[in-house]
Structure 1
Amino acid sequence: MTVSPRCAGKESVKKLRGQLFVIAAPSGAGKTSLVRALMQHRPDLRFSISYTTRPQRPNEVDKRDYFFVDERTFEQMAATGKFLEHARVFDHHYGTSKAQVEALLEQGENVLLEIDWQGAQQIRRAMPTCHSIFILPPSREALEQRLRGRQSDSDEVIARRLRDSIGDMSHWAEFDAVVINDDFGQATSDLAAIVAGETRRFSRQRPELRPLLDRLLS
């Protein structure tokens, strides 16, 4: 059977399925700022906006930073399978729209998710070909300084976030690559390199990570 030139042309322009990049970090590691900088550096990336039930912060915009919804709406979406992943973090729910991510990937877009380690586990089970990246702070002191710098949480909340961050960081070995956010510009460049395909250079198995992790997790 002969394929007409018109049909062959349509097949040749069909886009390949996009790649999914998952970025996670403990609270205060600078994940959100790094993701924003990466998006500026790589405007071809598409950011998947999460749903959340937590209160909107003064500097945040609905449908740009998050889809802010109430508990009832979130629970209905979870019950009807609308989320690719969802988790409860610090008394609030977060979730990633399955339809949003699938549509972008099918269009050939490379998609970036900014989620917590629990969500990353669910994503890896659902989409094992995703690229997962974990961001570490350079020290516990830097982590606390960043949390206090937000000036939006009480001392009690900050202390709780610091305790929970230790548990979050214990999951670092589940990720394909690890980036240390010591120098912001360098960390942004490292993320861009991973997106460009240099994952091996930032492997979780590189020996220089061990002394830092011993200090962070002890």
Structure 2
Amino acid sequence: MTEPADNAMTVDQDTLHRRGLLFILSSPSGAGKSTIARMLLEADASLQLSVSVTTRPPRPGEVDGKDYFFIGEERFEEMVKQDELLEWAHVFGYRYGTPKATVKQGLREGTDFLFDIDWQGTQQLYQRAEGDVVRVFILPPSIGQLHDRLRKRGTDSEEVIAKRMAEAQSEISHWDGYDYVVINDDVDGCFAKVREILHAERMRRARQTGLIDFVRDLMVADDSAS
């Protein structure tokens, strides 16, 4: 059996230091982004949900600090004025935002953050962190199916559903502001496509911050063997 050369180098690409990314999922309400987000988090331990602050009261079963940081209007306004948020937006009468400090540190350490936010938050985040952002928009297969999904959830009144349907048209009009667009006509198929996008984006050369040193070491090893 042939022994490996003394200067042979092997490496798992995932062990190279990599800058993290901000992986955004957006869609009209009811199109499935929260379901896809949950599936991604369950399947990928390297992905961390970005926990937003919100002025919305918690829904049954939601946990402060896990689902959202639930804060008052006064504290939210203070965070805006102190530039503590990467992005924020009004959504259905409440305010939502992304705390800046945790995300910036995580990116340097190679952490990938998942964002379940709307097009307004996406635009702000892209303006502030363009190179770190990956934008994925999820479309419903039809407006009729979107309406059916909202009714089947059983969490909203008919008045709220009508408001969400009206808002959906506006949200869908921003589809061309995203890097990827996926139609959610089958949740498992949609999940598979979104996960492929995440894997590919992680491997972008610009994010492999440890790659330069690794290649330099390869070249030094090659010179020594000459």
Q: Same fold (TM over 0.5)?
A: yes
Structure 2: distance between partners of 1:81 and 1:71: 15
RMSD: 1.7
Distance 2:145 2:59 in 1: 22
String of CA shifts for 1:131-174, please: whole Å, max 9, x gaps.
11001111111211221223222211110110011000000000
What's 2:21 paired with?
19
Match of 2:154 in 1: 151
Deviation at 1:14, TM superposition (A): 8.5
Inter-partner Cα distance in structure 2 for 1:177 and 1:43:
23
The whole-number CA distance in structure 2 between the counterparts of 1:117 and 1:30 is 15
Letter paired with 1:44? S
Aligned to 1:131: 134
Give the match for residue 37 of structure 2: 35
Which one of the candidate residues 138, 149, 161 is aligned to 2:164?
161
* Over 4 Å off, 4+ runs: none
2:200 counterpart SS class? coil
Distance 1:150 1:83 in 2: 31
Separation in 2, partners of 1:150, 1:69: 26
| CA positional deviation for 1:15 | 3.3
Q: What is the CA–CA distance in structure 2 between the aligned matches of 1:52 and 1:146, rounded to whole Å?
A: 25
What per-residue deviation string (whole Å, max 9, x for no partner) do you get for residues 48-79 of structure 1?
11111112111322211111111111111111
Percentage of identical aligned residues: 44
- Residue 18 of structure 1 contacts residue 110 of structure 1 at CA under 8 Å; is this kept in 2? yes
Secondary structure of the equivalent of 2:28?
Answer: coil
**Counterpart-to-counterpart distance in 2, 1:78 and 1:22:** 21
Q: Which amino acid aligns with 2:151?
A: R
SS at match of 1:15: coil
Q: Equivalent of 2:56, from 54, 57, 60?
A: 54
Q: Of 194, 197, 203, which residue of structure 1 is paired with 2:197?
A: 194
Work out whether 1:178 is the aligned partner of 2:197: no
Q: Aligned AA for 1:133?
A: V
1:125/1:198 CA distance change after superposition, 3 Å:
closer
Inter-partner Cα distance in structure 2 for 1:83 and 1:147: 30
Distance change >3 Å, CA 92–CA 58, structure 1 → 2: same
**1:94-151: CA deviation from partner (whole Å, max 9, x where unpaired):** 1001112111101111221111100000111111111110011111112112212232
Amino acid at match of 1:140: I
Question: Which of the two has higher C-alpha Rg?
Answer: 2
Q: Is the 8 A contact 1:51 1:94 kept in 2?
A: yes
Alignment of structure 1 residues 79-90 onto 2, 5 Å: 79-90=81-92
Query: Which protein, 1 or 2, shows the higher relative CO under an 8 Å CA cutoff with sep ≥ 6?
Result: 2
Aligned residues: 187
Structure 1: stretches of 5+ with no match in the other structure? 1-12, 200-218
Q: Which residues of structure 2 form unaligned runs of 5+?
A: 1-14, 203-226
